[in-house]
Amino acid sequence: MSPTPGLDAAPPRGQLVIRSCAPAGPTEPTVRLSIAAPALLASALAGGVAHARPMSLDPLNRVHAGLILTNGHFAPGVTAGLDSRLTRLAAIDVGGFVGLTDPQAVSVSRIDTSNAAEWVELRHGLSVTPGLRIPHRYGDGFNWDFIGRAGFGMLWSSDASRDPSKEGSLRTDPALTAGGDLLLRWGKVGVRAGGRAWVYRPYVYGLREELTLVRPQASLEAVVQW
């Protein structure tokens, strides 16, 4: 029997021929499926998968120490801390400060309490202050960073209206703080200038009540990072 034209001929390369079970005849249906289409689809799906790779983030720590000025009359003290990077924009600073001078002398009157805010003087403190840096690229050599911060801490204050022999010379209070740091750095070393304000409510013995106080601070520190 002579081959049926178009049916018994070998299919083109790259195609799959599926013949129906109907009796052979001149109208025998033939379905040709291209193998190339599924291959291309599989290739597109495989190529479209995103291969996510986490961006490298080297650990970064900065030790800082220097001088600090506290209260309205800027009493001198020393400060130190450790600033650690959490992400490319976020960091957290853990530090503290200690006043170096005695509290200033103030007049205390149980009758005239108009200067009651001056009776309390901020002496020492510990703080934890997360912060966010202004995003920018670092270059070779000289670099800068500005980090805005807000956090909390524990403060030790003196109260001129207290009797140290009966009530102790210092009291402790929780506090909130906010401010910012400007860092100028060359390589691994730099200088950091900072400013912040403390907000807390100490109990003033001369008033027999709590008083909301805001105490400013300014600092200038040396920084070493690794």
Q: 43-96 pLDDT, tens per residue?
A: 555 554 444 444 445 658 999 999 999 988 889 999 999 999 999 899 999 999
Domains of the chain (ranges, CATH numbers): 15-48 (no CATH), 61-225 (2.40.160.20)
Output the pLDDT for position 211.
93
3-state secondary structure the chain: CCCCCCCCCCCCCCEEEEECCCCCCCCCCEEEEECHHHHHHHHHHHHHCCCCCCCCCCCCEEEEEEEEEECCCCEEEEEEEEEEECCCCEEEEEEEEEECCCCCCCCCCCCCCCCHHHHEEEEEEEEEEEEEECCCCCCCCEEEEEEEEEEEEEEEEEECCCCHHHHCCEEEEEEEEEEEEEEEEECCEEEEEEEEEEEECCEECCCCEECCEEEEEEEEEEEEEC
* CA atoms within a 13 Å half-sphere pointing along the CA-CB vector of 149: 27
Output the pLDDT for position 113.
80
pLDDT per residue as tens digits for the range 85-137: 999 899 999 999 999 988 877 878 766 788 888 899 999 999 999 999 999 88
Output the pLDDT for position 44.
54
Output the pLDDT for position 186.
93
Q: In the predicted model, is pLDDT for residue 41 greater than 60? A: no
pLDDT band at 163 (very low <50, low <70, confident <90, very high): confident
> Computed from CA positions of residues 34, 37, 43, 49, in that sequence, does the dihedral angle turn out positive or negative?
negative
pLDDT per residue as tens digits for the range 170-211: 899 999 999 999 999 998 999 999 999 999 999 998 888 999
Distance CA 83, CA 95 (A): 8
